[in-house]
Structure 1
């Protein structure tokens, strides 16, 4: 810059001197004057070029300052998260990889990779004489994303999670499986909107099992769309929600999801959302929770398949209550329990499929009275070894004849396991499961009204 201005100044002085010299008639003739004028024109052109170059050079620092430097990824507000460059959103990626191994020993098994005692065959049946199945699966593996963004309404948290226990695929060659939705919700202040665990269940009081579904007789941990309001103060928590309804009437049709459209049932109508409320109190001693469920069930199969010879419309109100707890018994040991009862609880009791209602011969829609109870005890042998003993029962007062007497009316299940946590985030477990069923039929010489089965399961999990 300074050199360019110095050249320009010196060039101007030379031009003035040459012009002065050219004015003297005694020193140059006309030819010399022409050369001087040509040289002066070249110098003027050179001055213009130098000025243009100086202007361009002076604008470079301003342009460089206007261009922002590349933004560096930094830690986000959520533990273990990063801040997305150019935004105020924190992003955390998580999930787990899991391998489950299950071996059934008797009774024809318990219905696959997840223990379903209600599917146990009754003694004397052909199915009860089948050998037990061995299955190995990694489909429980999960992937989730969590975000946190500050807004004018407060911090907005979102969470999306899925696993691979979806449809399609087989075990012949690739063991492929479809990714399925587990959770998808947002939270802002006391509000939650999206798909999450039903508010009727209190997961903090659930016993621990290797089995994916868990102890029978508890409130079923349904995941479904909902709008929930929660209030916490001290050790208290109160939550109310409206949740997606889905009738579970004997003989009904359940419409599967289709791409781009919602399911339309043909044998029932979901008129109103299921209503749930739950209150919990926690302290150094443990946790106690109570809850209530209210739902309306409507059968309407006009224009569709008859149900037990019935075509028409009827509805009934259903629901129930629950009580659950986790009581500390010393150290990290604890006692867990849960009990629920009602008319038309149906899918809200672990042990599905449990019917919520059935159509009687006279066309009346009648709820199924049901109840469930679970007791579990967790003991820590050391900081890295622990065991759980969980027993549960489900009872059904099935109306006859719409529900046959051969249908399951009582389910018992026992889970005994041992977990080892070799390093943080890793878990290895092995579990013995015993299941028993009973129906209301009369025993015969060849077929009993009871059945039982045993299985051994193991799991290997690493969370990230």
Structure 2
């Protein structure tokens, strides 16, 4: 703008000179007239230059400003942004965490995640071992969530992982492989991809510092599925077909190699697991009822014998669950869960997994099992709360296909204190007591029961 001002002053001076000259007597000689014409021409030239400079300076901000397609704006999801040039909202989130676990008795509960079914029986050499201390950041999590409007409705995608994968060690780097948790797409009532099993109702789960916790309730399995959900008022109904996996004694478990999903040699997963769940919510809390139906099949023809049997057989399995969270005043609540059936296996938290066993005659016998959980959450203040959770799992193991030393009962107690000093931050400490029992008679040196205690802590910051 300084350049434009200088041109303006020069133009004004020349214009004043022209006026003065034009006021000269009419009898001015031809020399004066020529000078006047020359000054007028210069004024016109200066005015043209001034206009060009002003136009250029007025246009400069528009030329420097980014186009609308390049501007990052707020997205439709809370805490999201729109990808420039698109209508897709993107949200990045997760948390960083440190978990500390100290086992005191019984040789431990199976690692960083409490697994009472791994407790050693009293009198065994393992029960004499001292407790292990472990510290890990592998629970840390990262997710990417998007929402895109389409003519069919909003398309939502979610991809999430943590670092509780295979590989790594604690010698130098404490590294481990990333692990897929969730990967799904939602459109209207439909969900396709890997998500929590529809058999479990996570809204009724108790809160534990332990990564798994809440033994005796429906297991929060993550597996590929196609789900349909219908909501009306306070009601919700969902049905799904989910990936099957034969958790049968002696069966090989499907493992994943890079780019390959090998076919198991001991069983055939013929049909998907079918799940259905109904939930009703209100100001008082939430109650959910669910069911799962499975077809378990053994087929080890061309492979090694299982219990002396080579052939094929199948059995229908499944069960029901009832769960709820009932408010008791303020933010306090009671949580409960109960489930039972034949062949539930991996669908019960804390179960030693076996769903069925091959009997001596080659028939497949589904294991009867049931589990129950009761919990209570109390808020001491807006930033401090506690949870007490007790759960039990019982299994009717078929003998002799399963040895009597196999765990037939699991009990677990979780008591914690959780503090949130600032939003998004969480610090928790928890005592865990676990007990196991089998069907083997006691001897003078070996009991059919075992118990263990541990203390766990976590520090998390969510973003």
TM-score in terms of structure 1 length: 0.85
* CA 1:69–1:347: 2 relative to 1, 3 Å: closer
The answer for the alignment partner of 1:368 in structure 2 is 367
Any residues of structure 2 matched to 1:24-35 within 5 Å, and which? none
Please state how far the C-alpha of 1:68 moved relative to its aligned partner: 5.3
Match of 2:34 in 1: none
Q: How does 1:178-197 map to 2 (within 5 A)?
A: 178-197=177-196
Give 1:196 shift. Answer: 0.1
Shift of 1:313: 0.2
Q: Distance in 1 between matches of 2:67 and 2:316?
A: 63
1:332 aligns with 2:331: yes
Instruction: Tell me whether 1:252 sits opposite 2:251 in the alignment.
Output: yes
Number of the residue aligned with 1:319: 318
User: Who is 2:444 aligned against?
Assistant: 445
Q: Give the distance between the partners of 2:144 and 2:400, measured in 1 at CA.
A: 49
**How far has the Cα of 1:71 moved from its partner?**
1.5
Question: How far off is 1:353 after superposition?
Answer: 3.3
Deviation of the 1:69 alpha carbon: 6.6
Per the alignment, residue 117 of structure 1 pairs with: 116
Superimposed CA distance per residue, residues 37-57 of structure 1 (whole angstroms, 9 cap, x where no aligned partner): xxxxxxxxxxxxxxxxxxxxx
- Are 2:298 and 1:289 aligned? no
For residues 400-445 of structure 1, give each alpha carbon's deviation from its aligned partner in whole angstroms, at most 9, with x where no partner exists: 0010000000000000000000001100000000000000001001
> 2:307: which partner in 1?
308
The structural deviation recorded for 1:258 is: 1.1
Cα distance, 1:288 vs structure 2: 0.4
What's 2:149 paired with? 150
Deviations 1:164-218 (A, max 9, x none): 0000000000000101100000100000000000000000000000000011101
Q: Against the structure 1 CA distance between its residues 255 and 75, is the aligned structure 2 distance closer, same or farther, given a 3 Å change threshold? A: same
Is 350-359 or 141-150 further displaced after alignment? 350-359
Give distance in 1, aligned partners of 2:462 and 2:408: 39
Given that residues 351 and 410 in structure 2 are in contact (C-alpha distance below 8 angstroms), is that contact kept between their aligned partners in structure 1?
Answer: no
- Partner Cα separation in structure 2 for residue 153 and residue 353 of structure 1: 44
3-state secondary structure, aligned to 2:70: coil
- Alpha-carbon deviation of 1:352? 4.1
Cα separation, 2, equivalents of 1:417 and 1:255: 36
Q: Which moved more, 1:67-76 or 1:192-201?
A: 67-76
Q: Give the structure 2 partner of residue 393 of structure 1.
A: 392
Q: How does 1:188-207 map to 2 (within 5 A)?
A: 188-207=187-206
Helix, strand or coil at the partner of 1:75: coil
Deviations 1:293-334 (A, max 9, x none): 000000001111211111110000000000000000000000
- The number of residues matched between the two structures is 403
| RMSD over equivalenced CA pairs, Å | 1.6
Q: Distance in 1 between matches of 2:68 and 2:180?
A: 39
Match of 2:127, SS state, is: helix
Superposition map of 1:169-180 within 5 A: 169-180=168-179
Q: Counterpart of 1:39?
A: none
Report the CA distance shift for 1:330/1:69 in structure 2 as closer, same or farther (over 3 A): closer
* Aligned-residue offset at 1:263: 2.9
Q: What secondary structure, in the 3-state scheme, does the structure 2 residue paired with 1:149 have?
A: strand
Q: C-alpha separation between the residues in 2 aligned to 1:76 and 1:249?
A: 47
Q: After superposition, give the CA deviation of every residue in 1:108-140 in whole Å (9 maximum; x if it has no partner).
A: 100000000000000000000000000000000
What residue number does 1:162 align with? 161
1-structure distance, mates of 2:207, 2:68: 51
- Cα deviation per residue 1:57-88 (whole Å; 9 max; x = unaligned)? xxx99xx89x9576211111111101001111
SS of corresponding position for 2:346: helix
Q: Which residue of 1 aligns with 2:462?
A: 463
Whichever of the two has the greater Rg, that structure is 1
Instruction: Give the CA deviation at 1:354.
Output: 1.8
Spell out the pairing of 1:83-162 with structure 2 (5 A cutoff): 83-162=82-161
Deviations 1:132-174 (A, max 9, x none): 0000000000000000000011000000000000000000000
1:258–1:443 distance in 2 versus 1, CA, 3 Å: same
- Structure 1 CA distance, aligned partners of 2:106 and 2:179? 31
Structure 1 runs (4+) greater than 4 angstroms displaced: 67-70
Contact 2:138 2:164 in 1 (8 A): yes
Distance 2:137 2:352 in 1: 24
Matched residue, 1:279: 278
Partner SS state of residue 203, structure 2: helix
Query: In the aligned structure 2, how far is the partner of 1:129 from the partner of 1:147?
Result: 52
Gap runs ≥5 in structure 2: 1-58
Gaps of 5+ in 1: 1-59
8 Å CA contact 2:190–2:228 kept in 1: the answer is: yes
Question: Distance in 2 between the 1:69 and 1:334 partners?
Answer: 49
